[in-house]
Structure 1
Amino acid sequence: MVSAKAYLTVDPIQKDKAVKVIDRMHGYLSLLDGNTSYGIVDVITIILREGLEALLVVIALLGFLKKSDQEDKKSWIYGGVIIGSIVSIVLAVLVKLLFTSGTFGNNNFLISGWTGVFAAVMLIYVSYWLHSKSSVDSRNHGIQDKSCKSLANGSLFSLGFLAFLAVFREGTEVVLFYIGMASSIKLTDLFLGIALGFAILIIIAVLMLKIGLRIPMKPFFLVSSLLVFYLGLKFTGMGINGLQLSGVLPATSSDLLPTISALAVYPTWQGVIPQAVLVVIAILVILHNKLKRN
């Protein structure tokens, strides 16, 4: 949609390229034409696909509190998760009751766009902070590190808000998916799939926490920083894409740019350049810290 709009709003208009994009879109959407039915596997796939990204953020935050001997403050993270889940369900239900899908389309892009950008900013900051902790002497264990405790004590709301954003952004998508599927699947299969999906997510969360807590301090913070940076990079692309779809940001497409769905890289300069800048900054920070240690 962003590419097609970009080709039709440049001067001169690149009609042929826009038609090719629209033809591809038609090909994708034609698969949904007719009587579509869903099964338990589809329900589980949706919750795992959307939920794993939010789960990575929550696990990184919980692991940080545990490693820094601040586990008693994990209620802030859980609070963000619970509130994010509730708001997601309420918003999705209100959307279904009060708006047509066409009317909500633009608002949905705005919501996903701004929450994606805000979450990306916070994720990039947390990624940098976690990376800085990876250079802490392993004998210190980070427990006596003043800056470690300072972040936990002074930024609990920020940590909880980050958990809220991650869950809210993904949760709203999940609920809207399920509302759309409800008419094409047995309710017993839908609820069973949701239950199984949540059960799998819980098992993954427990395993990640247990494995993560056994990892030494330095590798734990290093791996966590890389995972959080990946999510920050992806949320940046998704947020910018959402704002482009809503018309807040312009879109300049190019055949030179790739499409990498796993990283939310789309063929517009407005999305690729900020992501490229983040990668360059990350590399420079890593090199700087390495030279500093040497």
Structure 2
Amino acid sequence: MTVLVRTKRKNALKYIHLGWITALVAGIATWALAQTLISISGASREVMEGVASFIAAIMLLYVGIWMHSKTNAQQWNNYIQKHVNSHIEAGTLWGLTSLSFIAVYKEIFETVLFYQSLLTQASSVQYSVVVSGFIVGCIILAIVAWALLKYSVKLPLAKFFSATTYLLLALAFILMGKAISALQEAAMLTISPLPIQIEVSWIGIGSTWQGLLAQIAVIVFFVVYFYSSKLKLKSNVQN
């Protein structure tokens, strides 16, 4: 949303809103299904979380690369001159909707599973405590979101894009590791353990070759792009 505001594309914000609002509706439907129709097995949950994390990781890496390509002042000016008076391509807009939907629905899905488990274990007199915690969490998230949107808009554009690039790269790295781990737990990927035990769950690092190589691939892909674009820029300057 900040990128769209900074690039004078406020008219495209509705595509972001469409994505997260649709995700909320889908989340409510998921909660209803979890309550009345289905019991989501551990394997099904891991498959859905793994696939969602994998897709989100790829999309975040793509957006991060796009942002990095705009950190150079000349490249940014060229981009503005080319697009400021034209509409963003429809495919890009619906891509924003998809990213917004996946990002929000993934969290809603995990929250539904968490609260389903929590309420199952809680007694009826404890429900109000659970609801109170949920409301407090929503308020804190709203404050954090407001602060991010308000103050990130005021950052220098190049610095904002540069910082966001590496934030998105880090998130892609984490989500890729979590995706592989979830798919392994669902027995959709084989497990080849590393010779040493390395488990840092908060950044998605596990003790398997598959997860480690997938995360390394994210970094290698970005590094290759980084240096190739740097060489290309240097060549253009010399010419």
TM-score class, shorter: 0.7 to 0.9
Matched, 1:90 2:33: no
Q: Distance in 2 between matches of 1:230 and 1:153?
A: 28
Matched, 1:173 2:126: no
Shift of 1:70: 0.4
Q: Deviations over 1:100-154 (max 9, x none)?
A: 4xx6111111111111111111111111111111123398395334399675654
TM-score (normalised: structure 1):
0.72
Shift of 1:290: 3.6
246 and 209 in structure 1: CA distance in 2 versus 1, 3 angstrom threshold: same
Matched, 1:283 2:223: yes
Q: Which of 111, 122, 141 is the equivalent residue of 1:184? A: 122
208 and 249 in structure 1: CA distance in 2 versus 1, 3 angstrom threshold: same
Q: Which of 144, 169, 172 is the equivalent residue of 1:204? A: 144
SS at match of 1:214: coil
What amino acid sits opposite 2:227 in the alignment? L
Q: Distance in 2 between matches of 1:92 and 1:250?
A: 31
What amino acid sits opposite 1:72 in the alignment? N
Contact 1:106/1:245 (8 A) holds in 2? yes
Q: Which of 177, 187, 197 is the equivalent residue of 1:237? A: 177
Matched, 1:227 2:167: yes
Shift of 1:89: 2.8
Shift of 1:230: 1.4
Shift of 1:195: 1.4
Contact 1:68/1:148 (8 A) holds in 2? no
Shift of 1:281: 2.3
78 and 99 in structure 1: CA distance in 2 versus 1, 3 angstrom threshold: same
Structure 1 stretches of 5 or more lacking a match? Answer: 1-61
Q: 1:71 corresponds to which residue?
A: 10
Shift of 1:227: 1.4
SS at match of 2:191: coil
Shift of 1:85: 1.9
Q: Distance in 1 between matches of 2:89 and 2:153?
A: 18
What amino acid sits opposite 1:80 in the alignment? G
Q: Distance in 2 between matches of 1:151 and 1:269?
A: 40
Q: Which of 163, 188, 191 is the equivalent residue of 1:251? A: 191
Q: Distance in 1 between matches of 2:84 and 2:169?
A: 20
Contact 2:26/2:105 (8 A) holds in 1? yes
Contact 2:69/2:75 (8 A) holds in 1? no
What amino acid sits opposite 1:87 in the alignment? A
Q: Distance in 1 between matches of 2:32 and 2:43?
A: 17
Q: Distance in 2 between matches of 1:125 and 1:138?
A: 17
Contact 2:8/2:84 (8 A) holds in 1? no
What amino acid sits opposite 1:93 in the alignment? A
Q: 2:53 corresponds to which residue?
A: 116
TM-score (normalised: structure 2):
0.87
What amino acid sits opposite 2:178 in the alignment? M
Shift of 1:216: 1.0
What amino acid sits opposite 2:122 in the alignment? S
Contact 2:56/2:103 (8 A) holds in 1? yes
SS at match of 1:134: coil
SS at match of 2:69: helix
RMSD (Å), alpha carbons? 2.4
Q: Equivalent pairs: percent with the same residue?
A: 27
Structure 2 stretches of 5 or more lacking a match? Answer: 235-239
Matched, 1:104 2:44: no
Q: Deviations over 1:147-171 (max 9, x none)?
A: 9967565411111101110111111
Q: Distance in 2 between matches of 1:115 and 1:210?
A: 29
Q: 1:18 corresponds to which residue?
A: none
Q: Distance in 1 between matches of 2:109 and 2:26?
A: 8
